[in-house]
Chains A and B, each alone.
Chain A
Amino acid sequence: MADPHGDVARFRGYMAAFNRHDYDELVGYYDPDIQLVIGNGTELRGRQAIVDFYRNVNDATTRTIEILDAFSDGVMLAAELQSEFLALRDAPDFTSGPMARGDRLYLNSFAYYDIGRDRRFVRIRSAVFRREWRRAASGQAQ
């Protein structure tokens, strides 16, 4: 698939940094005035706000994101992502709903990344297509 500006390759590097929790590298992918809007309605603006948000999420859970597909026209990148959240401790205030230690949440989501002139992300938006819980207590998918 065409990737005329190297956006998809850069996106893979971004996700690798995300999965390593390498926040210093992550910031370099964001425009200073970046806007993030995620499926649960959370809206954030600015690099630091986003990094702080992810630090908080990753404090209670580990999140691993797999890129199922990604393509770009040089202005916008579209991606299908599979995220796995594993609760490291009880997280009653987790953004997608309360999690008990050991619970897993799988999200299949579609995301758009608006790309600025310097190839940094200026806006990120995502919507959840499928959500599946695997509760540690039951071992069953819900």
Chain B
Amino acid sequence: MSRLPNRRDLLAAGGALLAIGPALIKAEVPLQPGTRPWFEAYIAAFNARDYPVFSAYYAPDVRFFGQAATLEGAQAVVEFYRRVHARIDETVDLLSFVSGAPTRVAAEIRTTLVAREDWPDFPTGALVRGQRRQSINFAMYDIVAGRFTRIRSARFRRIENG
């Protein structure tokens, strides 16, 4: 039966692993759902527009209550982000993180939007090309079997032209 490598395995294989490099070692150890490294990997994938990676965090029937949309289903969430990212440069920064692993995490997230074109009917307020808008949101993520089943975001602060 296969198992995850433990510390002794890693030490025993030290020279070879060091030669291979830290990236592979990191890749060999799965990130535990609900932990900060696991969540940071989600944020990094989101900011890199790595849709296959960040969408893998969503359960097929995920319920999403964001600032700009309420959606149901992983496909709907991904399609929503594709539409947004076609017109807006969006970056999220993780400011605070509290783990209620393995079933829930709380995150304080700063979202920065920069409009690449006018979007007069953007759901959280009209945007004109080049406009930058920031907000700080408190989000709760429910987790089942390592995937988000519900995402809820509450606006804490909005920073116009931030």
Q: Spell out A's residues near B (CB within 8 Å).
A: 1, 37, 39, 69, 71-73, 76-78, 80, 109-112, 125-129
Interface centre among B99, B140, B154 (most CB of A within 10 A): B154
Asked if B100 contacts A69 (CB within 8 A), the reply is yes
Q: Does B106 contact A (CB under 8 A)?
A: yes
Residue of B nearest to A80 (CB): B140
Interface of A is mostly: strand
Known: A73-B98, A80-B140, A110-B138. 14 other contacts (CB 8 A): A1-B103, A77-B98, A78-B140, A110-B106, A110-B154, A112-B106, A112-B138, A125-B138, A125-B156, A127-B138, A127-B156, A129-B152, A129-B153, A129-B154
Residues of B contacting A37 in the complex (Cβ-Cβ under 8 angstroms)? 156
7 smallest beta-carbon distances between A and B, as pairs: A78-B106, A71-B100, A127-B154, A129-B154, A127-B156, A78-B98, A110-B138
Instruction: Give, as a whole number of angstroms, the nearest-CB distance from B17 to chain A.
Output: 30
Bound Cα distance A28, B93 (Å): 34
Q: Which of B98, B99, B104 has the most CB of A within 10 A?
A: B98
Given contacts A109-B154, A128-B154, A129-B152, contact A1 B137 (CB under 8 A): no
- With contacts A71-B106, A80-B140, A127-B137 taken as known, whether A112 is within 8 angstroms of B100 at the C-beta atoms is no
Measured between beta carbons, the chain A residues less than 8 angstroms from B156 are 37, 39, 125-127
Indicate with 1 or 0, residue by residue over B143-154, a CB within 8 angstroms of chain A CB atoms. Answer: 000000000111
B153 contacts across to A, CB distance below 8 A: 129
| A129, B104: Cα distance in complex, Å | 16
Q: Give the Cβ gap from A136 to chain B, nearest Cβ, in Å.
A: 27
Give the distance to chain A from B156, nearest Cβ to Cβ, in Å.
Answer: 4
| Residues of chain B in range 97-123 having any CB-CB distance to chain A below 8 Å | 98-100, 103-104, 106, 108
Residues in A neighbouring B85, C-beta threshold 8 A: none
Chain B residues in 8 Å Cβ range of A76: 96, 98
CB distance from A11 to the nearest CB of B (A): 12
| B87 interface residue per 8 A CB criterion | no
CB distance from B75 to the nearest CB of A (A): 24
What is the CB-to-nearest-CB distance from B140 to chain A, in angstroms, rounded to a whole number? Answer: 6
Question: Could you tell me the distance in whole angstroms from the C-beta of A22 to the nearest C-beta in chain B?
Answer: 27
A109 to B152 alpha-carbon distance, docked (Å): 10
